[in-house]
């Protein structure tokens, strides 16, 4: 709700350049990219963590 009020009410009043882009589309793309990058990072870190745990048990 805060994001909607910010990008559709406050930001266009203070910064007219926000009206030139589609905030909903940009928000979706930004969250999708963030989610993919975070997923890849956590997957690689979890594999490292699991491999480290398996080595100590041998």
Please indicate, yes or no, if residue 56 is contained in any of the structural domains.
yes
Q: Is 52 among the domain residues? A: yes
- 31 lies in a domain? yes
Distance CA 13, CA 2 (A): 16
Q: What H or E segment, with its residue span, contains residue 45?
A: helix 23-57
User: What pLDDT is recorded for position 36?
Assistant: 96
Is residue 13 in a domain? no
Q: Is residue 36 part of a domain?
A: yes
Q: Is residue 48 part of a domain?
A: yes
Residue 41 lies in a domain: yes
Structural domain includes residue 47: yes
Q: How far apart are CA 22 and CA 42, in angstroms?
A: 30
Q: CB-based contacts of 27: which residues, under 8 Å, 6+ apart? A: 3, 7
How many domains, in total, are found in the chain?
1
Tell me the longest C-alpha to C-alpha distance in the chain. Answer: 63
- Tens-digit pLDDT profile for the chain (58 aa)? 887 888 778 888 888 887 777 767 777 888 899 999 999 999 988 877 777 766 555 5
Domain residue limits at 41: 22-58
């Amino acid at each position: 709700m805060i994001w909607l009020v910010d990008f559709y009410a406050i930001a266009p009043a203070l910064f007219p350049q926000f009206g030139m882009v589609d905030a909903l589309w940009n928000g979706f793309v930004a969250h999708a990219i963030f989610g993919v990058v975070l997923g890849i990072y956590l997957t690689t870190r979890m594999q490292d963590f699991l491999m480290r745990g398996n080595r100590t048990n041998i």
